[in-house]
Amino acid sequence: MRLTIESIETIHETAREFLAAIDGKGCCLAFYAPMGAGKTTFIKALCEVMGVKDVITSPTFAIVNEYTDGRGRPVFHFDFYRIKKLEEVYDMGGEEYFYSGCYCFMEWPEMVEEALPDETIRITITPQEDGTRIIEF
């Protein structure tokens, strides 16, 4: 499937469309995109649409942030950019998160590809010259 984020003003509309499209298809979401493409911004919009009231930031140094959605369920936001070895993911209990049944939004999943569940939804964000972003999954 392919969606377009036309602008920052319409990102929540695209986030709603995205969540409707993936509903029931899996909760591990791996976001592939170059630096500055908008991974964190889109994940923030997804969380806001899901009713998260917490401050949503990239967990670059913490590796994982936990939020609570509007229904009281945990949402996990990972940034694997700083992971050097796959063992780090296992040591932090990565599999427990991935198989928890809770949404796991993952930035830089290339670093941990081997640990991801088979049913992980892989999303590519591609910035366009006109400032829009193409979301493919």
Q: What is the pLDDT of residues 107-119, one digit of tens each?
A: 999 999 999 999 9
Q: What is the pTM of this model?
A: 0.95
66 — pLDDT class (breaks 50, 70, 90): very high
Q: How far is CA 21 from the centre of its chain?
A: 15
Evaluate whether 24 touches 98 at the Cβ level (below 8 Å).
Answer: no
Whole-number Å distance between alpha carbons of 23 and 126: 22
pLDDT at 118: 95
Is a pLDDT exceeding 90 seen at residue 91?
Answer: yes
